[in-house]
Structure 1
């Protein structure tokens, strides 16, 4: 009996020691909730000695948290954050240059231009208008085809969109309008659009969710959530405005101050792998690994051609000024 107890205690102690021996990686992310588990499960299966600990929030909140912690960083890796935000962190000298294993197999334009890169792209996401056919018919709303259409008086109070302060999708909307239309005309456009916006919410996916449930007939969002809701049977159409789509990339970067550089590099290696890109391709029409993306229902074949020119460095350098101006103009409609 004593021997059995001794063996059991030894096994238990060994299990505890094994668990304690795992390297803990603190990973800040803005990934959609349903995407977090597949990446974690696949990575930890291949690296059983490393455990991912997520800290998840919207893009704006994660970016603000990282900047606030600049002098006392906590995160080891930033994963699934907007490339525009990672560019901002890089301008602050916060990211570690690292070329992950297999990097040469990725589409080069979807990562940081430095050699070695300071962040590596995962996927492209672009602006999409979610339009509820049923609610629109009830309210006698025509189907818009352009950004300009959304400024028509018929849509007054019918639109919800993400706040650029808290949402990466909201920020790519604002910066794309400023870059595509020009500074003055971009703000004029947003002044006109604001007259029709009922509320600015703190999530890029929520406007499409609200359109899907019919709370608002039109939500300015991105294709991930629209595609998911369509698959669930929501009566929404995905509209890709003819002037072109603002876009950003989810990407991975290693914090220069990480205390677990070897484990962090292994996670960056995994995110650049074909396996990780195959996970990503479940939801995104454009991924970093060539030939992995597949046709997604509701996404046009010429999707990549609709993406407007996007200067991530400009977006990063002008972020504070743009958000300050935006809040002065429209912040009174932000979700509390």
Structure 2
């Protein structure tokens, strides 16, 4: 009798399991580094399509890299989606991420595949965006200042206390700026520029997009950001003018990686493939995110800054994404720039 009840109980459990919709038991922990609205959109769309439950946290690039590294012995995340490629490359070099080749790789732009190749298959490009700055036109007019068009304009005395950028230790955007100035001007001249810029900075934010949000709200005049983030603020009706600096500028390859030792590896690979699809990449516009998508078949939002129209430097992602170089430059910035009085 007891045996029969046990058998019936097991059979009922099996039938119940078979009756569950596909993917209903699946889980995914997503570390997201783009704007909150896009993170939420990706989470919602993936859950709706697959039935997989997503636990999403949003942090900046540097914070996410630090978290992935600190959790290396007991990984809690599955996918690190978005943010500048440099920390993704550093994580790949340190074995913090997994090798994975998506079928979608065949449809990606060369710059996206360059990340994949440089990392030994541990990360891939999902979007691109050029560095620049935006300024509040109303505040500029109130101060009677001439509109800044170049990096050199931002170190003029009249902009003292009027500029925000993020801290390159926490922000991939700001690290891209640091590496851009070093490549554009040479290291010594680049650090001289950063010291002069420091005198005009009113705050170093944690998040890379925070400076332009502050400019949009009239809390600062100028924000050094990726140009697409300035476009986002302009699209909301804020009095923001977007600038591609006259000397030239660096750019990011926003990237995606599966975290080494991911507990939900099948779901992680499923999200990875999902995020590279053209129809999914085109949804970014719904969240007012205007990066250039990595899939050749995805139509960039018409508001996106056109990379072909911007004077881009030949950004060395392999060098400036390496653990040694990134750590060295950040330490030098801490010692020689951040420590200075303002």
Judge same fold: TM > 0.5, yes or no.
yes
Work out whether 1:294 is the aligned partner of 2:305. no
The verdict on how the C-alpha distance between 1:300 and 1:51 changes in structure 2, with shifts beyond 3 A counting, is closer
The verdict on how the C-alpha distance between 1:117 and 1:108 changes in structure 2, with shifts beyond 3 A counting, is farther
Deviation at residue 295 of structure 1 after TM alignment: 4.8
Deviation at residue 333 of structure 1 after TM alignment: 7.7
SS in 1 for 2:219: coil
Distance (whole Å) between structure 2 residues aligned to residue 59 and residue 187 of structure 1: 22
Deviation at residue 109 of structure 1 after TM alignment: 2.0
Residue pair 2:125, 2:253 contacting (<8 A) in 1 also: yes
Show the counterpart of 1:36. 39
Work out whether 1:242 is the aligned partner of 2:246. yes
SS in 1 for 2:258: strand
Deviation at residue 31 of structure 1 after TM alignment: 1.8
Deviation at residue 302 of structure 1 after TM alignment: 5.0
Residue pair 2:282, 2:301 contacting (<8 A) in 1 also: no
Show the counterpart of 1:5. none
Deviation at residue 186 of structure 1 after TM alignment: 0.7
Q: Which runs of 5+ in 1 are unaligned?
A: 1-9
Distance (whole Å) between structure 2 residues aligned to residue 42 and residue 333 of structure 1: 46
Any residues of structure 2 matched to 1:266-277 within 5 Å, and which? 266-277=270-281
RMSD: 2.6
Show the counterpart of 1:308. 313
Residue pair 2:227, 2:243 contacting (<8 A) in 1 also: no
Deviation at residue 46 of structure 1 after TM alignment: 2.5
Residue pair 2:28, 2:54 contacting (<8 A) in 1 also: yes
Residue pair 2:89, 2:119 contacting (<8 A) in 1 also: no
Distance (whole Å) between structure 2 residues aligned to residue 82 and residue 168 of structure 1: 5
Show the counterpart of 1:3. none
The verdict on how the C-alpha distance between 1:84 and 1:226 changes in structure 2, with shifts beyond 3 A counting, is same
Show the counterpart of 1:325. 332
CA distances 1:145-197 after superposition (whole Å, capped 9, x unpaired)? 11011111111111111110111111100011111111111111111111211
Distance (whole Å) between structure 2 residues aligned to residue 333 and residue 205 of structure 1: 24
| Structure 1 stretch displaced more, 242-251 or 318-327 | 242-251
Show the counterpart of 1:67. 69
Distance (whole Å) between structure 2 residues aligned to residue 199 and residue 305 of structure 1: 27
What TM-score do the two structures reach when normalised by structure 1? 0.88
Work out whether 1:188 is the aligned partner of 2:188. no
Distance (whole Å) between structure 2 residues aligned to residue 302 and residue 61 of structure 1: 28
Selected match of 1:24 from 23, 27, 34: 27
Distance (whole Å) between structure 2 residues aligned to residue 134 and residue 247 of structure 1: 28
CA distances 1:129-160 after superposition (whole Å, capped 9, x unpaired)? 11111111111211111101111111111111
SS in 2 for 1:306: coil
Residue pair 1:58, 1:168 contacting (<8 A) in 2 also: yes
Selected match of 2:202 from 177, 198, 205: 198
Any residues of structure 2 matched to 1:1-336 within 5 Å, and which? 18=20, 22-48=25-51, 50-111=52-113, 112-113=116-117, 117-280=121-284, 283-297=289-303, 300-303=305-308, 305-317=310-322, 318-332=325-339
Distance (whole Å) between structure 2 residues aligned to residue 295 and residue 55 of structure 1: 26
Residue pair 1:122, 1:280 contacting (<8 A) in 2 also: no
SS in 2 for 1:256: coil
Deviation at residue 281 of structure 1 after TM alignment: 5.0
Deviation at residue 18 of structure 1 after TM alignment: 4.8
List structure 1 runs of 4+ shifted beyond 6 angstroms. Answer: none
The verdict on how the C-alpha distance between 1:59 and 1:110 changes in structure 2, with shifts beyond 3 A counting, is same
Residue pair 2:282, 2:299 contacting (<8 A) in 1 also: yes
Q: Which runs of 5+ in 2 are unaligned?
A: 1-11
Distance (whole Å) between structure 2 residues aligned to residue 209 and residue 61 of structure 1: 20
Deviation at residue 256 of structure 1 after TM alignment: 2.6
Q: How many residues align?
A: 321
Distance (whole Å) between structure 2 residues aligned to residue 307 and residue 52 of structure 1: 37
Show the counterpart of 1:7. none
